[in-house]
């Protein structure tokens, strides 16, 4: 993604990016009070139209813990994103809920065992070998058993629970995909923001150099008696303003590189590298195909649709509370023959029964009402999500076209402002134009550079946002 702010008279050539944390001589030359750079300055004191802003100049106080390309930034952000961890956890939770729903088709098994000890004497008459009777006091009992129970009839609750669980899992899967593209968009925005703030530092450095040259022009003319003290004061004001803009740009740059470091999981500042050329204005799909994909296949739409299906199945599950369940229970217990009170008796146990609350304080009605309200909201949200996807796709398609056109216009504005500044500078040195004319031309040239950086950033963000909406690279 090309972030060079200058415009070429011929087609623009890519510029190599050096280490962003270097303290090269070009960066020092842009500091306050430094002499103007002569290696990229024409005889008239201006940068020639065939060169761009120096993209290797940054604040030397920044020390990078890592330098990454955009693909590395995206991968690292996905690995360290709390939102991705939460979305992955939702998928695991949905799969677990689906396993529980299928588990309702199987009988439940219970293993029980116990030892009973008591100091309560229980009267028990036993016959001795001599033909007499004796009184015994059993002190304990023990038992072990296995029981199984199965809901013979649930009124359709199990089928509804399975449907709801599967829909919840699909909704979580779609949500994970949606979150992945949202995190990718965040990573790209942070990457482009570093490039943008880095270019603004370069623009501010050139503005400082230009203002310093203008101050030198004003000083020279005042010594010759062809300029007034007001010209020098205005030149100093312009230089001070340029320094303030440079401070603000460096502050933004420092914030962006450390913000990118937090995003990718690095303790420190992270610089950027890679190809600076802008992507083509031609998209992989046509407008109608992109809009159709956004309306019917975008991650956000799929997530909303699956959530609506899940809530509808939940309504069906809560309605089964109005139908009694029939449960079959069976088991077998092993135990000693103890006369102790409360001891378990050995043998088989089979039970078929049902329970149905005739009135439970309107709890069933409340459950059904809440589930129905949630399902209605989910259906409305799904419908609105389609409308939003259509409107957003239309807006972003137009934004991609308009921002790309704005890049071209901004490049032309930079070229014109550079030429205008060159002409006005020569005219001022020859006493034809006033310093106010020169100051106005300087401000226009600096603003044109800032506008070009913003235009390129807006184009890249609009394109990345469209890709995140439809869920695919374009």
Backbone region of residue 332 per phi and psi (left: phi > 0; alpha: psi in -120 to 50; beta: other values): beta
- CA separation for the pair 30, 190 (Å, rounded): 26
> Does pLDDT of 36 surpass 70?
no
The chain-wide mean pLDDT, for the chain, equals 78
Q: What is the largest CA-CA distance in the chain?
A: 147
> Among candidates 406, 413, 417, which has minimal Cα distance to 455?
406
Mean pLDDT, residues 129-134 taken together: 57
CATH of domain 1-12+70-85+156-326+364-474: 1.20.1600.10
How confident is the model at residue 274, as a pLDDT? 74
How confident is the model at residue 130, as a pLDDT? 59
32 versus 263: which is more confidently predicted? 263
The set of residues, in sequence order, having a beta carbon less than 8 Å from that of 8 and lying 6+ positions away, is 49, 50, 52
* DSSP-assigned states of every residue in 363-391: HHHHHHHHHHHHHHHHHHHHHHHHHHHHH
How confident is the model at residue 230, as a pLDDT? 85
How confident is the model at residue 27, as a pLDDT? 35
Mean pLDDT, residues 418-434 taken together: 85
> Does pLDDT of 276 surpass 80?
no
Mean pLDDT, residues 414-420 taken together: 90
The set of residues, in sequence order, having a beta carbon less than 8 Å from that of 198 and lying 6+ positions away, is 3, 20, 55, 58, 253, 272
Alpha-carbon distances, residue 138 vs 128, 262, 334, 341, 400 (angstroms): 16, 72, 18, 10, 89
How confident is the model at residue 30, as a pLDDT? 36
* DSSP-assigned states of every residue in 79-101: HH-HHHHHHHHHHHHHHHHHHHH
- CA separation for the pair 206, 38 (Å, rounded): 12
Read off the pLDDT of residues 178-219 as tens digits, 9 standing for 90 and up.
899 899 999 999 999 998 888 888 888 888 988 888 888 888
Mean pLDDT, residues 444-459 taken together: 88
Read off the pLDDT of residues 359-396 as tens digits, 9 standing for 90 and up.
888 888 898 999 999 999 999 999 999 999 999 899 98
> Does pLDDT of 295 surpass 60?
yes
Q: Do the Cβ atoms of 1 and 276 come closer than 8 Å?
A: yes
474: three-class secondary structure by DSSP: coil
Count other C-beta atoms under 10 Å from residue 404's C-beta. Answer: 21
- CA separation for the pair 74, 180 (Å, rounded): 10
How confident is the model at residue 85, as a pLDDT? 92
Question: Any alpha helices (H) in 225-281, and if so which ranges?
Answer: 229-264
Report CA Rg, the chain: 39
Banded pLDDT at 318 (limits 50, 70, 90)? confident
- CA separation for the pair 178, 393 (Å, rounded): 15
Mean pLDDT, residues 322-334 taken together: 83
The set of residues, in sequence order, having a beta carbon less than 8 Å from that of 301 and lying 6+ positions away, is 294, 295, 382, 385, 386, 389
Q: What percent of the chain has pLDDT over 90?
A: 11
Q: Is residue 161 classed exposed, middle or buried when 0-12, 13-18 and 19+ CB atoms within 10 A define those classes?
A: buried
Residue for token pair 């761009």: 52
How confident is the model at residue 54, as a pLDDT? 44
284 versus 107: which is more confidently predicted? 107
- CA separation for the pair 214, 64 (Å, rounded): 35
How confident is the model at residue 287, as a pLDDT? 81
Mean pLDDT, residues 128-137 taken together: 56
Q: State pTM to two decimals.
A: 0.71
Half-sphere exposure of 238 (CA within 13 A, CB side): 29
How confident is the model at residue 16, as a pLDDT? 32
The set of residues, in sequence order, having a beta carbon less than 8 Å from that of 25 and lying 6+ positions away, is none
> Does pLDDT of 436 surpass 50?
yes
How confident is the model at residue 12, as a pLDDT? 32
431 versus 302: which is more confidently predicted? 302
Most confident of 3-17, 122-136, 236-250: 236-250
């Amino acid at each position: 993604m090309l972030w060079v702010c200058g415009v070429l008279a011929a087609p623009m050539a890519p510029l190599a990016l050096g280490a962003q944390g270097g303290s090269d001589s070009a960066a020092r030359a842009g500091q306050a009070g430094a002499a103007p750079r002569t290696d990229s300055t024409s005889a008239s004191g201006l940068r020639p139209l065939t060169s761009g802003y120096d993209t290797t100049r940054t604040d030397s106080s920044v020390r990078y813990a890592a330098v990454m390309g955009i693909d590395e930034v995206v991968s690292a952000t996905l690995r360290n994103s709390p939102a991705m961890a939460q979305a992955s956890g939702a998928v695991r939770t949905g799969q677990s809920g689906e396993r529980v729903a299928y588990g309702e088709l199987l009988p439940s098994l219970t293993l029980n065992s116990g030892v009973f000890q008591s100091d309560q004497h229980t009267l028990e008459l036993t016959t001795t070998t001599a033909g007499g009777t004796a009184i015994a006091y059993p002190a304990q009992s023990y038992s072990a058993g296995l029981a199984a129970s199965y809901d013979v009839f649930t009124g359709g609750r199990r089928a509804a629970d399975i449907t709801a669980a599967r829909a919840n899992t699909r909704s979580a899967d779609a949500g994970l995909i949606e979150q992945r593209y949202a995190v990718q968009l965040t990573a790209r925005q942070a990457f482009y923001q570093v490039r943008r703030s880095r270019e603004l530092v370069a623009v501010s450095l050139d503005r400082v150099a230009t203002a310093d040259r203008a101050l030198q022009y004003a000083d020279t003319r005042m010594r010759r008696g062809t300029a007034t003290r007001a010209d020098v004061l205005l030149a100093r004001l312009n230089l001070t303003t340029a320094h303030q803009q440079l401070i603000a740009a460096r502050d933004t740059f420092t914030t962006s590189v450390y913000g990118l470091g937090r995003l990718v999981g690095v303790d420190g500042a992270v610089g950027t590298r890679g190809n600076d050329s802008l992507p083509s204005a031609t998209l992989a799909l046509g407008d109608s195909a992109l809009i159709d994909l956004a309306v019917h296949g975008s991650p956000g739409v799929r997530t909303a649709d699956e959530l609506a299906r899940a809530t509808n199945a939940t309504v069906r599950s809560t309605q089964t509370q109005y139908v009694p369940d029939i449960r079959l229970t069976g088991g077998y217990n092993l135990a000693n023959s103890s006369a102790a009170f409360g001891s378990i008796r050995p043998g088989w146990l089979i039970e078929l029964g049902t329970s149905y609350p005739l009135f439970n304080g309107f709890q069933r009605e409340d459950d059904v009402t809440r589930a129905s309200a949630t399902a209605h909201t989910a259906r409305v949200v799904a419908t609105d999500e389609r409308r939003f996807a259509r409107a957003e796709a239309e807006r972003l398609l137009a934004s991609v076209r308009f921002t790309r056109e704005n890049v071209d216009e901004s490049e032309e504005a930079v070229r014109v402002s550079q030429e205008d500044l060159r002409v006005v500078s020569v005219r001022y040195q020859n006493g034809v134009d006033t310093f106010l004319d020169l100051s106005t031309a300087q401000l226009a040239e600096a603003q044109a550079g800032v506008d070009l950086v913003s235009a390129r950033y807006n184009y890249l963000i609009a394109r990345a946002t469209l890709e995140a909406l439809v869920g695919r690279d374009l």
